[in-house]
Amino acid sequence: MNYTDGYTRTCGLIGNPVKHTMSPLIHNSLASMTGINMVYVPFEVKEKELKNAIKGAVALDIQGMNVTIPYKTDVIPFLEDVDPLAKAIGAVNTLVRTENGGFKGYNTDMTGLYHAMQDEGIELKDQTVVILGAGGVARPTAFLCANKGAKKVYILNRTFEKAVDVADEVNLALELNDSDEKVVPMLLGDYRKVLESEDSFIAIQCTSVGLFPDVNSAVIEDEEFYKKVSSAMDLVYRPLQTKFLKLAKEAGARTFSGLKMLLYQGIDAYELWNEDKGIKITKDQADEIYRSMMLEVVGASNIVLEGFMGSGKSTVSELLSEELMLELIDTDEVIEDTEGRTINEIFETEGEASFREMETDLLEAIDSDHWREFVISLGGGMPVKEENRELLRKIGKVVYLRAKPETIFERVKDDDKRPLLKTEDPLAKIKDLLEERAAFYEDVADMIIDTDGKTPLEITKEIIDKLGL
């Protein structure tokens, strides 16, 4: 929680709607990471109130604002100054307070997209780029590509006139004359003309097609198109894996969601607001916020792995935490560390019921202390108690690693640290216990992964894929 007092710097977002914005997550996390006494608040502003909102923001000494749909262009007349690049683009998304008591507008959508591309290793110089769409975000995208040395930029749009407008504006602003034909407008349905004249290109998806809940659509569905895509970036980030990205991936392209652009447009804005304090966000800080944003998009505070002993939870949770750069918690290990005894010893001295109580206490602590952004590997019996299942639903997305009894037996038969298997016929015991527990695992699971015959890496990749990360 951000600390506030009489010195707190206030920044915010104006737009309509703003209810689902991720900007407070970005900026309030940056403030707490960099030790800046700042809070960031979204403001839903009605169209007729836009001018008053800007005047009011000055009066309230608000230091910086983001501007989102539908005001990125409409806000310009109310600004004291506009950065030349933003002026050329004709849209601003970041306002910074000036000394004269007004705001100066910038376009960090463009710089943010550039930083995201740099971070992902996408090189624009001498490349052909196909931009799908000619709306608000296609405009800075086209400017960026032309400005950073792309050989040719095609703008394909359903409404041809809009593609022409954007192409003309970019060509004019960058003083490219007609003979250069650097930015070329085209009707979306004519995309095959691009395929005829280009061997390979970067495709940047700037339409709203594929945006949640319309997740099964892509603006072009023809496989032939994707065969020529080297890198594909979808500026839509809900869901992270859009149909456009899936088609591009299947055709062998490198794929990137728009979430990093969102992150970096925020970082660039934050650095502008705090220029007086010399704030520069490090790669590690950016990565940390990116992880929070990814989990926010998939609606998970934590990723929780459940399953019977030998289902692969320990290995898979380690791989998952490495792959997603999230910290790992193994509930059995936490209990052993807290108690200073092994689980075997707890079972022998206090019995299973007492151990189960300890598990519930731990889940309650995770829930009430709001532990977030962990991969949590659960003890095998944890979901049996209804109380635990209720807590599990609150603390994250639960992934059930399912395995057949024979597979489990093969995996654990030589492990003498398993108290429940200290029996004459461990396979029969596994079958009994599994039958008893399977319904509980399934009841609480957000997703079930069958692990028989799969390597831990394959299982990890399947989880990441199914989570849409």
* Catalytic residue annotation: 72
- Candidate segments 35-43, 134-142, 324-332, 376-384, binder of ligand NAP by CB under 6 A: 134-142
Closer CB to ligand NAP, 159 or 197, in the complex: 159
Task: Rule CB under 6 A: say whether 162 interacts with ligand NAP.
Answer: yes
Are 303 and 406 in contact, with CB atoms under 8 Å apart? no
Centroid of chain to Cα 465? 13
Closer CB to ligand NAP, 133 or 312, in the complex: 133
Structure tokens at 160: 């041809």
Task: Rule CB under 6 A: say whether 219 interacts with ligand NAP.
Answer: yes
Q: What is the distance between the alpha carbons of residues 297 and 239, in angstroms, rounded to a whole number? A: 7
Task: Rule CB under 6 A: say whether 206 interacts with ligand NAP.
Answer: yes
* Closest distance to ligand NAP from the beta carbon of 153 (Å): 15
Alpha carbon of 285 to those of 24, 197, 254, 299: distances in Å?
16, 42, 25, 21
Closer CB to ligand NAP, 39 or 204, in the complex: 204
Closer CB to ligand NAP, 68 or 317, in the complex: 68
The angle at the Cα of 41, spanning 39 to 47, to the nearest 5 degrees, equals 150
Collapsed DSSP state (helix, strand, coil) of residue 71:
coil
Q: How many residues sit close enough to ligand NAP to count as binding (CB under 6 A)?
A: 26
Task: Rule CB under 6 A: say whether 92 interacts with ligand NAP.
Answer: no
* Closest distance to ligand NAP from the beta carbon of 210 (Å): 8
Task: Rule CB under 6 A: say whether 237 interacts with ligand NAP.
Answer: yes
Are 259 and 228 in contact, with CB atoms under 8 Å apart? no
* Closest distance to ligand NAP from the beta carbon of 120 (Å): 13
Alpha helices in 299-425 (DSSP H): 313-324, 331-339, 343-350, 352-368, 386-395, 405-412
Structure tokens at 35: 């030790």
Task: Rule CB under 6 A: say whether 142 interacts with ligand NAP.
Answer: no
Task: Rule CB under 6 A: say whether 407 interacts with ligand NAP.
Answer: no
Q: What is the distance between the alpha carbons of residues 367 and 132, in angstroms, rounded to a whole number? A: 43
Are 309 and 416 in contact, with CB atoms under 8 Å apart? no
Task: Rule CB under 6 A: say whether 189 interacts with ligand NAP.
Answer: no
Are 83 and 105 in contact, with CB atoms under 8 Å apart? yes
Task: Rule CB under 6 A: say whether 400 interacts with ligand NAP.
Answer: no
What's the chain's length in residues? 469
* Closest distance to ligand NAP from the beta carbon of 160 (Å): 8
Closer CB to ligand NAP, 261 or 320, in the complex: 261
Site string for ligand NAP, 10-49 (x = CB under 6 A): ----------------------------------------
Q: Which amino acid is present at 354?
A: S
The residues of the shown chain that bind ligand NAP, judged by CB under 6 A, are 69, 109, 133-138, 157-159, 162, 188, 206-209, 211, 219, 235-237, 258, 261-262, 265
